[in-house]
Amino acid sequence: MSQTTQPAGQAAAQATGESVVGAGPRDRYAVIGNPIAHSKSPLIHARFAEQTGEAIEYTHLLAPLDAFVPHVRAFMESGGRGLNVTVPFKLEAHALATKLSPRAAAAGAVNTLRFEAGEIYGDNTDGFGLVRDIEVNLATPFKGARILLLGAGGAARGVVLPMLGRAPHTLTIVNRTAEKASELVDQFGEAAREAGCRLTGGGAAAIEPGTYDVIINATAGSLDAALPEVEDSAFGNSTLAYDMMYGAQPTVFMQHAQTLGARAADGLGMLVEQAAESFYVWRGVRPNGAPVLEELRRILAAPSAT
Ligand code: ATR
């Protein structure tokens, strides 16, 4: 992958076929990361702009690993209105923001930047995207549910507060390195009390008897086809097993859950719904994620999809 930067102007958007609705000046947004060429965000936001009639263009921006901040500043100073931030820059975006939403502060990471009046507003829509995908697209309510969260890295931390906001009965956080799960239990203890949720966690021994309603894999294990340690008895016929990863094929975690009788879903819907929430943060208009999710699912299932 070359280390050149994708220009973010209108000409570049036209060149890459990512420009969107309307004539005249359009507000500029982009997704910044490394690597970034295969990001689905430009397509998703182009569809949202078509749906809502918002006059925006949205491109992708490759930043060298040691030059995230100058790239953000250059985009901002050239009139850009906001950025999505992806791997590996979410922590740097958190540090760069001059103002944080409560959910970004709790996550310790930022995936959405909005530039306004000299301020860099940092938000995190990942957890909202997960909750919306599970509750709306997969019709599985969190309220009163028993939830098992596998993993205690950045991806897990980002979703805890939005999940607690839906008042589950129990949230168990389990991680290979038990102390990291215990740290999250401490960090979110107050929020859990306020939500009336029993929050526990640690190593695999912290998994409670009986089946869970929702089991979420937030470990990086799916990247190398590793299955996180979970008791088979945690999965039942009414369990939704959700992997934050996605790909053309079901992940090993999804396949394992299905052999135990559970329903399984990947994280493609989370990707779309976090984007919809970012769009709302920027534009104050909420697009409909469902048709875009359907389109992406078709693209992913096509024989040429990687
Ligand atoms: P991310 O930001 O994607 O969450 P991270 O902060 O590096 O990345 O966290 C990776 C998570 O995946 C951690 O919970 C990690 O467990 P440890 O804290 O014990 O390292 C988990 N993980 C990675 N590979 C795993 C594997 N093969 N089995 C189980 N858990 C794994």
Residue 92 sits in the same domain as residue 142: no
Residue 93 sits in the same domain as residue 135: no
Q: How far apart are CA 187 and CA 184, in angstroms?
A: 5
The torsion of the CA quartet 195, 201, 207, 213, rounded to 10 degrees, works out to 30
- The total number of structural domains that make up the chain: 2
In a mutational test of the pocket of ligand 1, which residue from 150, 176, 183 has the highest number of ligand atoms less than 8 Å from its CB?
176
Residue nearest to atom 25 of ligand 1 (CA): 221
Q: At what angle do helices 41-52 and 289-301 cross, to 10 degrees?
A: 140
Helices and strands of the chain, counted as H and E runs: 12, 12
296 inside domain: yes
Per-residue model confidence as pLDDT tens for the chain (306 residues): 233 223 233 333 333 444 445 567 899 999 999 999 999 999 999 999 999 999 999 999 999 999 999 999 999 999 999 999 999 999 999 999 999 999 999 999 999 999 998 899 999 999 999 999 999 999 999 999 999 999 999 999 999 999 999 999 999 999 999 999 999 999 999 999 999 999 999 999 999 999 999 999 999 988 888 999 999 999 999 999 999 999 999 999 999 999 999 999 999 999 999 999 999 999 999 999 999 999 999 999 987 755
Q: Which residues are catalytic, by number? A: 90
Q: Which domain holds residue 107?
A: 8-124+270-305
CATH number, domain with residue 105 = 3.40.50.10860
63 inside domain: yes
170 inside domain: yes
Ligand 1 pocket residues where CB is under 6 Å: 151-156, 175-177, 180, 219-221, 226, 228
15 inside domain: yes
Q: Ligand 1 centroid to 264 CA: how many Å?
A: 20
Residue 86 sits in the same domain as residue 168: no
44 inside domain: yes
Q: What is the model's pLDDT at position 161?
A: 97
Residue nearest to atom 29 of ligand 1 (CA): 228
Identify the H or E element spanning 87.
none
Give the nearest ligand 1 atom to 219 CA: 12
3 inside domain: no
> Of the candidates 63, 53, 4, which has an alpha carbon nearest to the alpha carbon of residue 30?
63
| Sign, CA torsion 230/234/164/182 | negative
Q: What is the model's pLDDT at position 116?
A: 93
Q: What are phi and psi of 174, to 5 degrees?
A: -125, 135
Give this prediction's pTM.
0.91
Q: What is the model's pLDDT at position 305?
A: 56
